[in-house]
Structure 1
Amino acid sequence: MRNFLSGGFKDNTSLEKGVLTGILRVSKEFIFSGMNNLGVFTILSAEFNDKFGLTGEEVQKLLIDYNLDNKFDDVRAWYNGYNFEGVTIYNPWSIINYAASLKKVLKPYWANSSDNKLIEDSLTHNGKELKNELLALLNGENIVKTLKENITFEDLEKHEDMLWSLLLFSGYLTASFSHKNNREINFYNLSAPNLEVRTLYYDLLMRWFDKRMERDKQELMLEALEKGNIEDFEFYFSEFVLNSFSYFDTGGEHAEKVYKSFVLGLFVLLADKYELENEREAGAGRCDLILIPKDKNKLGIIIEFKKVDARKKEKMPQAVKAAFKQIEEKQYDVILKSRGIEKIKKLAIVFQGKKVWVREGQINSV
Structure 2
Amino acid sequence: KAMESSDDAFNRGYEELIQTGKLETLVRMETSFFETSTTENLWGLLVNAGYLTISKVISYQDGLYVVKVPNQEVQQEFQKLTAHYLKVAGTDLFTMFSALKRQKKEDFKDKYQKVLLTLPSYHDLKDENSYHMMALGMCAWLCHDYKIISNREAGKGRCDIVLKARKENQISYILEFKYAKDSNTDLNELAKRAVEQIKDRKYDIELKGNVIYIGLAHYQKEVEIEWQEK
User: When the two structures are superposed, what TM-score results if normalisation uses the length of structure 2?
Assistant: 0.71
Distance, in Å, in 2 between the alignment partners of 1:331 and 1:276 is: 17
Note if contact 2:132-2:177 (Cα within 8 Å) is conserved in structure 1: no
2:31 matched to which residue of 1? 153
Distance, in Å, in 2 between the alignment partners of 1:219 and 1:169 is: 25
The answer to whether structure 1 residue 345 and structure 2 residue 223 are counterparts is: no
2:81 matched to which residue of 1? 204
* Aligned-pair CA distance for 1:198: 6.6
Distance, in Å, in 2 between the alignment partners of 1:241 and 1:347 is: 17
* Aligned-pair CA distance for 1:348: 0.8
Distance, in Å, in 2 between the alignment partners of 1:212 and 1:278 is: 24
Task: Spell out the pairing of 1:27-38 with structure 2 (5 A cutoff).
Answer: none
Q: Look up the SS of the partner of 1:334 in the other structure.
A: coil
Give the percent of matched residue pairs that are identical in Structure 1 and Structure 2: 19
Distance, in Å, in 2 between the alignment partners of 1:165 and 1:228 is: 36
2:150 is matched with which residue: 270, 278, 286? 278
2:177 matched to which residue of 1? 305
Gaps of at least 5 residues in structure 1 are: 1-120, 178-185
Q: How many residues align?
A: 221
Q: 1:169 to 1:243 in 2, by over 3 A?
A: closer
Distance, in Å, in 2 between the alignment partners of 1:155 and 1:138 is: 20
2:159 matched to which residue of 1? 287
Q: 1:195 to 1:140 in 2, by over 3 A?
A: farther
1:123 matched to which residue of 2? 3
1:325 is matched with which residue: 187, 196, 204? 196
1:96 matched to which residue of 2? none
1:357 matched to which residue of 2? 224
1:241 matched to which residue of 2? 116
1:226 is matched with which residue: 78, 90, 101? 101
- Supply the AA of the counterpart residue of 1:349: L
* Aligned-pair CA distance for 1:352: 2.2
The answer to whether structure 1 residue 137 and structure 2 residue 42 are counterparts is: no
1:334 is matched with which residue: 188, 205, 215? 205
1:28 matched to which residue of 2? none
Q: 1:218 to 1:127 in 2, by over 3 A?
A: closer
Larger deviation, residues 192-201 vs 282-291: 192-201
Note if contact 1:192-1:198 (Cα within 8 Å) is conserved in structure 2: no
Gaps of at least 5 residues in structure 2 are: none
Q: 1:246 to 1:218 in 2, by over 3 A?
A: same
Bigger strand share = 2
Note if contact 1:251-1:353 (Cα within 8 Å) is conserved in structure 2: yes
Q: 1:296 to 1:208 in 2, by over 3 A?
A: closer
- Supply the AA of the counterpart residue of 1:153: T
Q: Deviations over 1:58-88 (max 9, x none)?
A: xxxxxxxxxxxxxxxxxxxxxxxxxxxxxxx
Q: 1:242 to 1:333 in 2, by over 3 A?
A: same
* Aligned-pair CA distance for 1:169: 6.4
Distance, in Å, in 2 between the alignment partners of 1:220 and 1:148 is: 34
Q: 1:283 to 1:155 in 2, by over 3 A?
A: closer
Which is greater in Rg?
1
Q: CA RMSD in A?
A: 4.0
Q: Deviations over 1:142-163 (max 9, x none)?
A: 9997x476x6335750343442
1:166 is matched with which residue: 44, 68, 87? 44
* Aligned-pair CA distance for 1:191: 7.0
* Aligned-pair CA distance for 1:322: 3.6
- Supply the AA of the counterpart residue of 1:123: M
Q: 1:257 to 1:291 in 2, by over 3 A?
A: closer
* Aligned-pair CA distance for 1:347: 0.5
Query: Which structure has more RCO (C-alpha within 8 Å, separation ≥ 6)?
Result: 2
